[in-house]
Amino acid sequence: MYLARREDMPVDWRGQMQERYRKKVASGQESWLADIEARLGRTIQVEFRNDHLPAVLEYLVTESGLNIVLDYHLLDKTKPIRLQGKMSVRNALKWVTRLARVRYVIRDEVIYVANQEGLRALRLETGESPLPILFRRPVTFHFRNTPIRDALARLGRYAQVKIDLQGLGTDEDLPVTITGEGVEVSRAVRMVMDRTGRDCAISHSGSVIVVKILPKRPPKKAGEPKAGSKQSTP
């Protein structure tokens, strides 16, 4: 089990430190998933001219170093594949499995390729990754009276993810002062938002972290009972 090479990792303003903390933070399941995600992101040239699925997958293995397992029931049951061009390993795998009318899942350090029946027999759900690795990328940051828009934009650049800030007034800055090293970007967003003192909702939509600032609560009037408290009756 190991991490992707430096050239496969996100580039940011403190690459050396990011790599050091990536090794520190990524462990166990996260480590092998991070490695697979990095390899899937590599760009390769494909020239498949009526090649069969086993040969195509073997080429992807050679080019990416991924561990791909093909269900032996599919050895002679898929159509020849025609695919040419320069693309990421992820997109090549998507197109190959789509053309072969099979599915793939990532589980237990391997990419398993099978048809729906084979996946069902192994009780595997379809889908790529059980964990949103891009939201777990570690970031190192130092903000000093930084407007919240700028702070979130910088976190997004460091981790190479999109952060969509919603609900901030045009006349609001919400400056934050906070430092963090090797913090998963999803947690870093929460830490930064906590410093604003504003209520917010953070969610993940596809490859985007959505941060929605909630409206300010109206100030309570003097003598107004707290929510849930009982009023005494004379």
Q: What is the mean pLDDT of the chain?
A: 77
Please determine, for residue 26, whether its predicted confidence score (pLDDT) is greater than 50. no
Residue 206 CB: number of other CB atoms within 10 A?
A: 7
Q: List Cβ neighbours of 218 (8 Å cut-off, separation of 6 or more).
A: none
Q: Could you give all domains of the chain from N- to C-terminal order, each with its CATH number?
A: 6-121 (3.55.50.30), 133-213 (3.55.50.60)
pLDDT tens digits for range 69-126: 888 777 667 788 999 999 999 999 999 999 988 888 887 778 888 887 777 666 655 4
In the predicted structure, residue 128 carries a pLDDT above the cut 60: no
pLDDT digits (tens, 9 = 90+) for 135-190: 777 889 999 999 999 999 999 998 888 899 999 988 889 999 999 988 888 889 98
61 pLDDT higher than 80: yes
Q: What's the pLDDT score for residue 83?
A: 94
Instruction: Tally Cβ neighbours within 10 Å of residue 116.
Output: 11
pLDDT for position 147: 95
Give the per-residue pLDDT at 31.
Answer: 66
Q: Where are the alpha helices (DSSP H) in the chain?
A: 15-25, 29-40, 53-64, 89-99, 116-121, 148-159, 185-194
Residues forming a β-bridge with 200: 213
